[in-house]
Amino acid sequence: MASIRWLYVATTALVLYSLAAGEDFASQGQQALVKNDFNSAIVSFSKAIQTNPSDAESYRGRGKAYLQLNKFDPALADLNEAIRLAPRDADALALRARLWLMSGRNRETVADATVSLQLNANNAGAYGTRGLAYDRLGEFARAVADYTESIRLHPTSLKYLLRGRCYEMLSQHERAVADFEEGHRLQETPNDPQGHAAQN
């Protein structure tokens, strides 16, 4: 009886230690992402996943790092696994939408971004991603609506320029000119770095 109790205590301690180690690796991965050190992030998240294979956040983090390195196949595999483990993870869905966009799969982009926004309506990146997909599909009114929401949440010069182009395609010339002017004004503002992605 005592040996069974000891085995239970030892097993419980090992599980708790493994979970704590996995959290440490996941934390290191998040810190590496913030520093844009994507290779280190992949290493840390991989260790976290080895320790806890059901950690959806580590799959999402590693998928994001792979995506930043344009490694689409491993990114997709990780994001699919993150969504399988946590189907209501709005961030994982938004990341997969961005991956679809970067791969030229606009309908899949719209589908994932829409579900992500149903779960989190305050994600400027998901609006920007879906707006770009609608833009590419020639659905300019829908693109304008999404760019508008993305601008409301996080205005950047690029978003104004993209929305202005859509207004131009819709023959709404005054609105187009206003957006082009605002976009160029923001480009000259230090708080809006050049090349700021529409997803952000």
Closest of 154, 150, 130 to residue 142, by C-alpha: 130
Phi/psi of residue 3, nearest 5 degrees: -65, -35
- For the chain (length 200 residues), average pLDDT per consecutive 10? 51 46 81 95 96 95 97 98 97 98 97 98 97 98 98 97 98 98 88 50
User: pTM surpassing 0.85?
Assistant: no
Q: Find, among 32, 37, 101, 94, the residue nearest to 60 by Cα.
A: 94
Domains and CATH numbers, the chain: 110-200 (1.25.40.10)
